[in-house]
Structure 1
Amino acid sequence: MTSAVTTEKSRPGYGQLLRTPGALSFLIPGFAARQPFAMLTIGIVLLVQHTTGSFGDAGIVATVTGISMALFAPQIGKLADRRGQSAVLIPTVIVHAASVVGLTSLALLDAPLWALALAAVPAGASVPQVGPMVRARWAAKLEGSPLLSTAAAWESVTDELTFVVGPVLATFLCTTVHPSAGLLTEAGLTLIGGLLFAAQRGTQPRPVPRLAGGEKHASALSFPGLRVLIVAFVGIGAVFGGMLISLAAFSEEIGNPGANGLLYGIFAGGNMIAGIACGTIAWKIGPRRRLILGYVGLTAAASVLWTVNSVFLLGALGLVVGLCIAPALITGYTMIEQLVPAASRTEAFTALTGAVAFGQAAAVTVAGRLTDAHGSSYGFLVPAAATALALLTLLALRSKLAPKAPSRVISTSQSPSNTSPAEPSARVNERVVGHRVPVTVD
């Protein structure tokens, strides 16, 4: 059921968002700094598979990287909340670049698998959390504004653009220049882009080293809604990881390794297209319902991937899967404002990013073993199983996604005292001074 205080004539657009004072100063370097994120896993897979001849071994190294990132990303976010983004980001990008160069060198020297896995730990643990930091900057600048959900859509589009450009660029470099070129480029872009982003100190959220009264900060993970979202994002990460390995294996099977970048780019392109569309829609249903409906579509699309055996059909179905991911991602990130207090939001955003990395890493390992043993079709079973399990979790724990303290609608013609007694049971979608906006009920 949906009710409204009054209806919006239009959804705030991207043009209005980009005119937010100070936005471009962090968006442009932020885009450059997050490009390497989409190149890391595919670069590791292609290099290690080249040196060892096994997708399974490549999957293990990529998995260690992803698990390290999943474990350390929330800690990086927590430090950024407490000490400031720039203070945390500068040493992080330096360590990451050095770690990736070390891992690349070991792979080229035919080091044993255990050594590659060991080197993957610091490479993953030091992945700069630029995307969550950008989202935290938006959340700080737009808190309570209807532009916040537009910003979430913009960030999803930006993320997916990196997943269009990154894998294609890494695959091109690894297959036409040198197997190590993808990872070395990733390290260089991380260092340069990260330092440029860290230099934008004026737009970073104010650090909160201690709460009023000396109280300790509550960890973002202590909020049950975030924990449910983490499960959903692990499933989404499994789609990315399963597609990455299975598309690479499929391209090898048909004798055209270069098709991998194109197919993955189509998949990511679908996500980007859906993200652009989501940013222009004035939603009439609550975010919890949107998340579940989006996940139902994603699970349905992922469940038939394993049946496809032609490039054309795989590209078309990959596009559909990509189209279904963006609504779930955007909605999940948008819900953070209602589920987690401002002092812990960077940690919350990095927890979701880490969940995607963990799901991707686990899927890369399982799909790698399955493709080595049975072929690419079996690798596509991983996204199907992961999304189905995550959907069941969402349905069972959907009550945890209800915000504890909904925002109030404030307008020039209606004071807070005039709100309906029934309002606490409703989810206020957004608030902005001087405008009335929809109030939706899940």
Structure 2
Amino acid sequence: MSRPVQGGASYRAVLALPHARGLALAGALARLPYGLISLPLLLALREAVGSFGAAGTSVGVYGLLSAVLGPWRARLAERRPATLRLLAVAFAVVLALIAALALLAAGGARGPVTEAAAPVLAVVAGILPPPVGPLLRARWGALADGEAQRQAALSLDAVAESTVFSVGPLLGGALIAVTSPGVALAVVAAIVVLGFSSLAPVLARTAAPAPTPPALPTPSDAARTEARSSGAKRRSPLRSGGFLVLLGAVAAVGAAGSMAELAAVAGWGASVAGPLLAGFSVGGVLGGLVYGRLTWRRSPRTRMAVLGAVGGVVYLLPLLWFAPASAAPTLLAAGAVTDATLITAYLLVDTAESSAWINTAFNLGVALGTSAAGMVIGQDGPRAVFAVAALVPLLACAACAVSTLIGARRSAARPTQERGMTDRQLDAMSADLS
């Protein structure tokens, strides 16, 4: 079993790294629009098109494109850093145009132009969101000195992200309450510009997170040189079976959490479920903080399997006692497991593109879990959802365990010189040779 040992790197040491405080503050500001945007965008589109149905569909397409194209944007920004500014400016401009259409419609100028243009602009906006999280995690990995400090840095980053997405909707609702959806969305666009104006110089001052594998025997060096000279591109991480298993485990955790949240709403109503869902966020923050301060006897791959098993057991409690009193500790612990799983997944990758794929897998898992929970509730009621929510991470646990065993056997068969390399270094080496 993977056992924690006290004595990991401290958060004070992480924040003492060169440019670390600037990266944390600028990163929080650049992330803030993503926490704020949901309500202002939905209600601004509703004002522009005059229909909640059309607005909801547009927001759904925006979210889908934003998630699916995230790895592509991260890869582009990682290879050509100048494109990050272009994405940020274009994203802000499109949001400002939607805000202007909403303000025109609110003033009585709604017509065929606003009703047709606003959904198109929402689709375009889904293509453009700059990859803040993946780039920040890659930079933290480059700044950290050793694996323990890298774990603490990624945990701190995960806590910051969870906090932004917990507070953001409240701030977005407050903006709409004191102004209007159009003005609130315009404020979001302004924060996009401000956030990236602050983040871009910090990213420029930090080293690019390019993994460098150790020296290998001459045949491997020759093969790598030949591959580079032939113009071969870096291999997509999706060509790795182990990486696909990792994405599946992350998607399973996202699906289980979203299923439990919907079951709580369906089972006890919004007024009771609200504090329970807040407990999920609080559990994520606390779990991330504790996880980052621990060192572990086992590898991150083994931890992924253990966390899947823990997640499955956590969701069983409401099956034994279906009441808010049992759901409260369940969702608190589930939030902690979710953030710990994401942090562990981020530890297994080096590049912004791979980190973005983890985000995409999690978001798709959330979407699939919500859809599946709706069907289960309609068929068997909300209590049955917790049974499915428990099964999903347990299956992911089994897949991770099998993947870890296969990886261990392959590691035992590697030459002695390669056996000391990390999995991320081996992945980088194979990418260069493909």
Q: Distance in 1 between matches of 2:46 and 2:75?
A: 35
Deviation at 1:422, TM superposition (A): 7.7
Deviation at 1:349, TM superposition (A): 1.0
Q: Distance in 1 between matches of 2:321 and 2:13?
A: 42
Aligned equivalent of 1:133, options 132, 135, 145: 135
Q: Distance in 2 between matches of 1:23 and 1:30?
A: 10
Q: Is the 8 A contact 2:318 2:326 kept in 1?
A: no
Q: Is the 8 A contact 2:5 2:296 kept in 1?
A: no
Aligned equivalent of 2:29, options 25, 32, 35: 32
Greater Cα shift, 33-42 or 191-200: 33-42
Are 1:194 and 2:196 counterparts? yes
Greater Cα shift, 103-112 or 59-68: 103-112
* CA deviation profile, 1:72-102 (whole Å, cap 9, x unmatched): 1111111122112xx1221212232344455
Name which one, 1 or 2, has greater alpha-carbon Rg: 2
Structure 1 match to 2:164: 162
Q: CA RMSD in A?
A: 4.7
Structure 1 match to 2:70: 73
Deviation at 1:65, TM superposition (A): 2.8
Are 1:205 and 2:208 counterparts? yes
TM-score after normalising by structure 1 = 0.71
Q: Is the 8 A contact 2:256 2:389 kept in 1?
A: yes
Are 1:318 and 2:331 counterparts? yes
Deviation at 1:306, TM superposition (A): 8.2
Unaligned runs of 5+ in 2: 212-224, 426-434
Secondary structure, aligned partner of 1:285: coil
Q: How does 1:383-422 map to 2 (within 5 A)?
A: 383=389, 386-388=392-394, 390-399=396-405
Structure 1 match to 2:222: none
* CA deviation profile, 1:101-144 (whole Å, cap 9, x unmatched): 55665798699999876554333322221111111112223364
Secondary structure, aligned partner of 2:170: helix
Structure 1 match to 2:216: none
Greater Cα shift, 237-246 or 118-127: 237-246
Secondary structure, aligned partner of 2:349: helix
Are 1:274 and 2:276 counterparts? no
Aligned equivalent of 1:226, options 236, 243, 252: 243
Q: Is the 8 A contact 1:71 1:125 kept in 2?
A: no
What one-letter code is carried by the residue in structure 2 that aligns with 1:170?
G
Give 1 or 2: higher helix fraction: 2
Give me the identity figure in percent: 24
Q: Is the 8 A contact 1:60 1:365 kept in 2?
A: no
Structure 2 match to 1:150: 152
Deviation at 1:170, TM superposition (A): 3.5
Q: Distance in 2 between matches of 1:143 and 1:179?
A: 45
CA shift in 2, pair 1:327/1:356, >3 Å: same
Secondary structure, aligned partner of 1:323: helix
TM-score after normalising by structure 2 = 0.72
Q: Distance in 1 between matches of 2:359 and 2:11?
A: 23
Structure 2 match to 1:341: none
Deviation at 1:38, TM superposition (A): 3.3
Deviation at 1:147, TM superposition (A): 1.3
Deviation at 1:325, TM superposition (A): 1.1
Q: Distance in 1 between matches of 2:5 and 2:424?
A: 11
* CA deviation profile, 1:331-375 (whole Å, cap 9, x unmatched): 1110114xxxxxxx1111111122222223344555567779998
Secondary structure, aligned partner of 1:282: strand
Secondary structure, aligned partner of 1:11: coil
Q: Distance in 1 between matches of 2:320 and 2:98?
A: 36
Secondary structure, aligned partner of 1:35: helix
Deviation at 1:296, TM superposition (A): 1.7
Structure 2 match to 1:350: 356
Structure 1 match to 2:91: 96
CA shift in 2, pair 1:239/1:118, >3 Å: farther
Structure 2 match to 1:294: 307
CA shift in 2, pair 1:152/1:110, >3 Å: farther
* CA deviation profile, 1:350-406 (whole Å, cap 9, x unmatched): 111222222233445555677799987787787556545544543444446669889
Q: Distance in 1 between matches of 2:143 and 2:184?
A: 35
Q: Is the 8 A contact 1:307 1:377 kept in 2?
A: no
What one-letter code is carried by the residue in structure 1 that aligns with 2:10?
G
Q: Distance in 2 between matches of 1:100 and 1:197?
A: 19
Deviation at 1:263, TM superposition (A): 4.1
CA shift in 2, pair 1:355/1:430, >3 Å: closer
Q: Is the 8 A contact 1:129 1:350 kept in 2?
A: yes
Unaligned runs of 5+ in 1: 338-344, 407-420, 432-442
What one-letter code is carried by the residue in structure 1 that aligns with 2:68?
L
Secondary structure, aligned partner of 2:69: helix
Q: Distance in 1 between matches of 2:367 and 2:38?
A: 8
